[in-house]
Structure formats: structure tokens, C-alpha cells
């Protein structure tokens, strides 16, 4: 584990005004890289994400998902509509390096904390904004939520078979990708500021993240409008890749096959019909037939047996693991993606939970942070005192 002072963003102070997922996770990514992140929350209820429970699970008064998104942060409770609290927050802004917000367009301006106002308080500030669909156009005022952004972007039509309706991605992919882009923009502006002294503003949105995800499809279609989404048979995993690309049932589970020559698959699975298909165009024209032949053959034995055959021939394949199989697998243990975090509970006792760590390694070291998400306003008094005593915000937590 790297010492705090060796982390790349050590000394950077981030004010996180955001809620839900995209903004808070962007701030979390900066915290894992060493930044001091102070979460600004409404008194009492705090971030709405404290009560929006993934799978209905909570711990010590906050949802488990909130703990996962907001570990390694401090919390200041402030009513931004109260003049005294707003003045205190502006003092924090004047001493911070980064501001992150993900309100609908116009909200921060009404609060008196928009980029133009903040830049007057702190000309070197790096100001990061995430919205649902940008701040212009017919979608700008729509609710910025993951499923809605997925739907507008057309992504649900990329999964499933030709017989299915739209199949949304089963996780908050728009939020997570937006968080990555926002954190990337912040770090880029920090590099510029360290080089020139100039702050700046980075903006992105859920929709832009989902459009960027489709850069291959959009680039191809924009240059050739005849290219469109035509989903394949029940085992196909990609509308733009031919058989055998897909997932297939075995006697005890499922197996994924990536890009592989059909004759090779035919030889390994003892399917003469496939061995004869040497023309790649047939892999498209007879996709459904090929998928059925493969599926029927793979159903005759267990996944491990087929992996032994295919792996020996260096075929691109993998088991399709369930959640339970994943966390029990030695490969999951080997990558050491989990960590334990803790805090003092509302009853005064110790509260611990398991969550994931940052996926980044620095200088060969995994980025671990044992501090759990804060209680609402847990650090308000300490940070007020710090600002009063020193007139600055240090890059280390109070």
C-alpha cells in the first residue's frame, strides 16, 4: 500500500457537491488517487444516494451502494439556501482546487455557485460538471438518469437477439463511464494548472458517455448509412460480428465463444457441417444455423470439458460465470479487487463492510483506502475550525 504522500493527487482538495452516482464516483476516483474529498451535503438527509438502496440493502443508516461510492471522503453539512452556510461554503471554494457538481443545468447558478461566480472567488479552480444530456438542445432539461440516457442513446438495441425487444445494460453504465470521463478531465486540467497556473472547466454528460461508447458503430454508420443494427440469433452476443461470437449453453452452465474461424470450431467440436464452411460470408449468411449446431453440441458435455478442448487449441473462449461463481473463483481472489472499510456507527460501535478497491495500480501497488463513507456533516465542525485556525484547507483529511 502506497503511503499517502506518494499518491499522485496528494495535496489536492476536492469539493464534491454531487449526488447519486456519476459525480460521487468521479470524486471517489480522485480520492483513491490521493485527493482530499470533502462532500457538501444538505443537513439531515444528505445526498439522496444515502436512501436509494441497490438491491434494498443498507448498513448503519446508509445504503451499501452509498458506502461504496463515497468511501474515503469527509462530509460537511450546509444548507446552500441559507446565507450563512452559503458564505461558509464559498470560503471553502476559495481554498479548494476542484469543484464537482452534477445538478441539472442552471441549478448551481441559482445557488450562486456556478463556474463564473466560483472563478471570481478562486481563479485557479478546476470546475467539473456532469449533466444528463448537456446544457443545450431538446433533451437538456430531461431527468439525467442512467436507464433514460441508455435508452435515448440507442444502446439497448445492441444486446439481445432479433426476437427480443430492447435489452438495457444491467448496471449503471452511463453513470460509471461519465464518472471516468469527468475524473479524466479534472486530472487533465490539474496538469495544465500545475504547468501554467490556469484553472478551467470540464463538462460531460451521460449521453455523451454513451455516444462515445458507440464510437465504432457511429463512425461506421455516419460514413455508410446502410450499416445499421441487425441483431442475430438467440446465442449471438454482437450485432456486428458473425458466428460463432456469442454465448452457448453447456450441460452445466454457459460458454462464451469470441472471434474464431468456423472450420476450426467445427473440427474441435466434431461438426463436419462447420468444417466445410471455409467462406467467411457463410458465417454471416448462416449465422442462426451455425449457432444452433454449436449450441446443440455444447449441451452434450460440461463447461470444464469443453474448455479443456478449446483452451488446448488456443480458441478464444471463456466460461460465463454467475455472481456466486465469480466471487468463489481463485481468479477473483488472485486479483485482490476487494477491501474492508470501516467507520464508527451511529450507536458508537464499529461498522465494517467489504467493497471494491480502485481498479488502478500505481508503481505496482494497489490503491487501498480503509475509511468508509462519512455520516452527514461528520466533519463540519472540524473543517470550520481548520479554516478558522489556518485560513487554508490542507491536502490531508482533518
Helix (H) or strand (E) holding 176: helix 173-196
- CB 79, CB 376: distance < 8 Å: no
365-366 and 13-16 beta bridge pairing: unpaired
Question: What is the pLDDT, as a whole number, of residue 398?
Answer: 63
CB atoms under 10 Å from CB of 388, counted, come to 9
Torsions phi, psi for 371 (to 5 deg): -85, 125
Tell me the three-class secondary structure of 97-115, residue by residue. CEEEECCCCCHHHHHCCCH
Instruction: Provide CB contacts within 8 A for 250, sequence distance 6+.
Output: 298, 299, 301, 302, 303, 306
Q: Half-sphere exposure of 72 toward its Cβ, with a 13 Å CA cutoff?
A: 28
pLDDT per residue, tens digit, the chain (398 aa), is 788 899 999 999 999 999 999 999 999 999 999 999 999 999 999 999 999 989 999 999 999 999 999 999 999 999 999 999 999 999 999 999 999 999 999 999 999 999 999 999 999 999 999 999 999 999 999 999 999 999 999 999 999 999 999 999 999 999 999 999 999 999 999 999 999 999 999 999 999 999 999 999 999 999 999 999 999 999 999 999 999 999 999 999 999 999 999 999 999 999 999 999 999 999 999 999 999 999 999 999 999 999 999 999 999 999 999 999 999 999 999 999 999 999 999 999 999 999 999 999 999 999 999 999 999 999 999 999 999 999 999 988 76
Provide the residue count of the chain: 398
Which pairs with CB-CB distance under 8 Å and at least 24 residues apart come from 344-350?
Answer: 345/60, 346/60, 346/61, 346/375
Site of grid cell 449446431: 293
Of 285, 284, 289, 294, the closest CA to residue 241 belongs to 284
CA atoms within 13 A on the CB side of 294: 36
Residues facing residue 132 across a β-bridge:
none
Give, in order, the Cα–Cα distances in Å from 104 to each of 101, 107, 140, 233: 9, 6, 8, 40
Task: Give the span between the Cα atoms of 22 and 209, in whole angstroms.
Answer: 11
How many beta carbons lie within 10 A of that of residue 205, not counting itself?
26
Cα first-last separation, the chain: 21
Nearest one of 348, 355, 350, 351 to 369, comparing CA atoms: 355
CA angle 163, 164, 165 (to 5 degrees): 130
Q: How far apart are CA 176 and CA 180, in angstroms?
A: 6
Please say whether the beta carbons of 47 and 133 come within 8 A. Answer: no
The domains of the chain, with CATH numbers, are: 4-213+344-390 (3.40.50.10540), 246-328 (3.30.1540.10)
d(CA 157, CA 231): 8
Amino acid at each position: 500500500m502506497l503511503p499517502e504522500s506518494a499518491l499522485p493527487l496528494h495535496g489536492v482538495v476536492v469539493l464534491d457537491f454531487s449526488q447519486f452516482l456519476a459525480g460521487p464516483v468521479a470524486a471517489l476516483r480522485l480520492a483513491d488517487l490521493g485527493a482530499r474529498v470533502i462532500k457538501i451535503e444538505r443537513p439531515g438527509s444528505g445526498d439522496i444516494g444515502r436512501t436509494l438502496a441497490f438491491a434494498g440493502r443498507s448498513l448503519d443508516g446508509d445504503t451499501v451502494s452509498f458506502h461504496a461510492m463515497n468511501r474515503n471522503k469527509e462530509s460537511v453539512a450546509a444548507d446552500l439556501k441559507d446565507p450563512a452556510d452559503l458564505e461558509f461554503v464559498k470560503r471553502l471554494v476559495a481554498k479548494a482546487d476542484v469543484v464537482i457538481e452534477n445538478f441539472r443545468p442552471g441549478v448551481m447558478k441559482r445557488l450562486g455557485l456556478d463556474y463564473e461566480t466560483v472563478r471570481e472567488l478562486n481563479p485557479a479552480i478546476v470546475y467539473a460538471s456532469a449533466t444528463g444530456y448537456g446544457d443545450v438542445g431538446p433533451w437538456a432539461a430531461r431527468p439525467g438518469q442512467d436507464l433514460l440516457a441508455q435508452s435515448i442513446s440507442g444502446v439497448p438495441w445492441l444486446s439481445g437477439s432479433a426476437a427480443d425487444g430492447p435489452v438495457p445494460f444491467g448496471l449503471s453504465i452511463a453513470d460509471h463511464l461519465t464518472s471516468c470521463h469527468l475524473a479524466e478531465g479534472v486530472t487533465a486540467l490539474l496538469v495544465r494548472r500545475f504547468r501554467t497556473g490556469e484553472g478551467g472547466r470540464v463538462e460531460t454528460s451521460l449521453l455523451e458517455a454513451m455516444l462515445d461508447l458507440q464510437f465504432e458503430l457511429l463512425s461506421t454508420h455516419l460514413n455508410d448509412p446502410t450499416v445499421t443494427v441487425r441483431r442475430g440469433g438467440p446465442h449471438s452476443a454482437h450485432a456486428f460480428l458473425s458466428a460463432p461470437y456469442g454465448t452457448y449453453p453447456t450441460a452445466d452452465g454457459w460458454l462464451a465463444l469470441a472471434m474464431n474461424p468456423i472450420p476450426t470450431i467445427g473440427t474441435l467440436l466434431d461438426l463436419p457441417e462447420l468444417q466445410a464452411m471455409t467462406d467467411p460470408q457463410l458465417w454471416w449468411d448462416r449465422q442462426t444455423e451455425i449457432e444452433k449446431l454449436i449450441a446443440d453440441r455444447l449441451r452434450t458435455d460440461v463447461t470444464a470439458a469443453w474448455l479443456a478442448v478449446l483452451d488446448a487449441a488456443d480458441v478464444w473462449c471463456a466460461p460465463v460465470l454467475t455472481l456466486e461463481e465469480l466471487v468463489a473463483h481463485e481468479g477473483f481472489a488472485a486479483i485482490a479487487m476487494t477491501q474492508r472499510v470501516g467507520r464508527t456507527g451511529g450507536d458508537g460501535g464499529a461498522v465494517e463492510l467489504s467493497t471494491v478497491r480502485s481498479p488502478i495500480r500505481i508503481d505496482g501497488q494497489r490503491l487501498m483506502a480503509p475509511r468508509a463513507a462519512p455520516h452527514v456533516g461528520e466533519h463540519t465542525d472540524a473543517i470550520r475550525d481548520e479554516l478558522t485556525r489556518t485560513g487554508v484547507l490542507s491536502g490531508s483529511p482533518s
